[in-house]
Amino acid sequence: MNAEMQKKLHLKWLMIFGEGVVFISLLTVGILQTRKSFRKEALLAKQQNNFLLSITHELKSPIASIKLYLQTFGKHELKPEKKHELVARAVSDADRLNSLVENILLVSRIDNNSKFLKFSPINLSKLCKETYAHFQNETHQIEAEIQPNLFVEGDELALQSILLNLLENAVKYSPDSKRIKVKLWANDLDVILEVFDWGMGVKTEDQERIFQRFYRVGNEETRLAKGTGLGLYIVKYLVNQHKAKIQIRNNEPIGSIFQIRFKPVAA
């Protein structure tokens, strides 16, 4: 075999080897991408299944409580203070049920790209005071520090939903008897809404993921806090629609601070 033939054969083998390397590389990339997609779909399916289980519990629990209160009223002669207590609990459960239904409807509108927000100048100070006063919780001490007459361009119901979901999240992940604080203030550039809790906190690796739909902190089998994984997803969407920014900071010595920065507008 002369040198020229050897050279051609060598080049041919190099070409075959190169094509083989490219084929194996593409096959490997394809397998890895398929595996990644499969894992992503499996995780989403698991999260959706957990959501269905959670939503069933979250819907049935207040309904069962309200039914029990009504049955108690029907079967027993109650003292006025006991009646007041049961009515307050029933109203609280009804509010919880209404909040859950509103969140489900909001997510449906988000998925359908419905344009349901109507923007106008909103007195955020007044709205925060009204929302905070309406939000009642028997297990946590809730404080407010609200600077008066701070206006933003926004949708009133959406802004109320943001604050309610942040308050509910704070209660959910804070031990009983812990305090929660709402603070609204302004600097030269922004109107700043903050919700402080002294609960379990949010790990750094979870601080972006908690805004994903269905995502909840902790293991599904051992998690004590109930929920649907929709609240913070809704908060993030509504904050973005208001062209605002949300971030999480660690509270000291323990807990979390959810901070939202809005652009101020004239009254």
Same domain for 75 and 160, yes or no, is no
| Whether 143 contacts 181, CB under 8 Å | yes
CATH number of the domain enclosing 135: 3.30.565.10
d(CA 139, CA 59): 21
Q: Is 264 helix (H, G, I), strand (E, B) or coil?
A: strand
Complete DSSP assignment for 22-56: HHHHHHHHHHHHHHHHHHHHHHHHHHHHHHHHHHH
Question: Based on the structure, what is the number of domains in the chain?
Answer: 2
* pLDDT score at 225: 53
Print pLDDT tens along the chain (267 aa).
566 666 666 677 777 777 777 778 777 777 777 777 767 666 555 555 555 556 666 777 778 888 888 888 888 788 888 888 888 888 878 887 887 888 888 888 887 777 788 999 999 999 999 988 877 666 778 889 999 999 999 999 999 999 999 998 888 888 776 788 999 999 999 999 999 998 888 887 787 788 887 776 654 443 445 566 788 988 999 999 999 999 998 888 888 999 999 999 987
CATH number of the domain enclosing 71: 1.10.287.130
| Half-sphere exposure for 126 (CA within 13 Å, toward CB) | 8
Same domain for 256 and 125, yes or no, is yes
Which run of H or of E encompasses 123?
strand 120-123
Q: Which of 85, 101, 116 is the C-terminal boundary of a domain?
A: 116
Q: Which of 85, 116, 147 is the C-terminal boundary of a domain?
A: 116
Same domain for 75 and 127, yes or no, is no
Same domain for 111 and 151, yes or no, is no
| Whether 217 contacts 233, CB under 8 Å | no
Would residue 189 count as lying in a domain? yes
Would residue 246 count as lying in a domain? yes
* pLDDT score at 221: 42
| Buried/exposed 223-253: b ≥16 CB within 10 Å, e otherwise | eeeebbbbbbbbbbbbbebbebebebeebee
Q: Which of 71, 95, 116 is the C-terminal boundary of a domain?
A: 116
Same domain for 188 and 85, yes or no, is no
And the tokens for 263?
């652009």
Q: Which residues pair with 28 in a beta bridge?
A: none
Minimal CA–CA distance to 212: which of 40, 60, 35?
40
d(CA 223, CA 18): 52
Would residue 267 count as lying in a domain? no
Type of residue numbered 36? K
Would residue 169 count as lying in a domain? yes
Query: What is the residue range of 194's domain?
Result: 120-262
Same domain for 56 and 163, yes or no, is no
Same domain for 102 and 130, yes or no, is no
Same domain for 28 and 49, yes or no, is yes
Would residue 24 count as lying in a domain? yes
* pLDDT score at 79: 84
| Whether 226 contacts 57, CB under 8 Å | yes
Same domain for 20 and 146, yes or no, is no
Same domain for 112 and 185, yes or no, is no
Same domain for 250 and 160, yes or no, is yes
pTM over 0.85: no
Would residue 235 count as lying in a domain? yes
Would residue 142 count as lying in a domain? yes
Same domain for 79 and 190, yes or no, is no
